[in-house]
Structure 1
Amino acid sequence: MRASEILAVMSALATSGLACASHPRPEATEVPAGPASRGEASCRHDLGRCGGHTPGDGACRSATPDTPKNPLEDVVLAPGKFAEINLDMGDGSSTEVTFEATGGPLEWNVHSHDGDNVVIHAEGTGTDGKLRFAAPRAGLYSYLWKNAGAGTVRLSTRLASTGQVRVHSVEPAP
């Protein structure tokens, strides 16, 4: 298990509903920390950011202007694995992700990075739902789903957005 997966597990709590307050969490390494930037240079491969893939393999390509409607479609998560949508959002932009998990509940959170700290904006557990998030400022924000159960779970998502929203990266990569 990679350090990023361990830290993602630690940051996901089994609560329900949307949390209204933000609070810092220990460092996680699934997305770049610091100011939002685009493309391969922002990935911080040396720190294992963006899943620790190899520089130049295209996994950190800049997002296209059109935000995909189904960034995670029919993804199978083995026990202990996670899936994530990383979004580059403009100030005041908002998103709504509808998700469905077949085979068991998934722990989920909406988070961002403030330097080396992870800020959890909302979290919960469920087999389906609509997760709404409005960016308090421009930056990189992530929706993460973690399979904490003993069996495999199939995840599908649908993304809707308002304002300046671009998919930065998706884990697992399509």
Structure 2
Amino acid sequence: MRQQETFPIARMDGPAAAQVEDAFRLIYAEAFAESPYNETEDEVAAAFRHFPAQARKHTFRAALARTDDGEPVGMAYGFPLDPDTGWWDELTEPVSDDLRREDGLRTFGLMELAVRGPWRGQGIARRLHETLLDSMEAERVLLNVHPGGKAASAAYRAWGYRKIGEARPWGTGEDLHDVMILDLH
């Protein structure tokens, strides 16, 4: 019987994550090339044009899982939403002013969470999520998930997230995504 590996997970700030951007890009590209996302190389490049600016935010935090020999297997990252965030404006149905109120600390936006195919089903995504949110001062976490990503949607629900609406991320013609929120306190 094969012993399950532990996969060390490192929590990082923006400068540390920027140093290993290639690891984040590798995981993202592999995970999001799959259905239902079907992202092309150009779409991955477009997504990662934002990464350096995101990583420069002083509130940026990330988590990276690697094998014992250093191969990247999973990642998560995000940052608190600014008071003037447009995230709430992307919802297809408006939400209450109280729900959409932001102060730069209230809501942590989970931008990405992904595990490469060969390492799924071992609890790595949950550990990445826990590591990223450990000692979080935000009241809640907000994310978008493609409803066709059944495993991801099920994991988020199991971790306590609830759907609050639907949106087309970044105002594009992309598929509708479920917008989910997790209350931390």
TM-score, normalization by structure 2: 0.27
Task: Report the TM-score, using the length of structure 1 for normalisation.
Answer: 0.28
Structure with the larger RCO, 1 or 2 (CA within 8 Å, 6+ apart)? 1
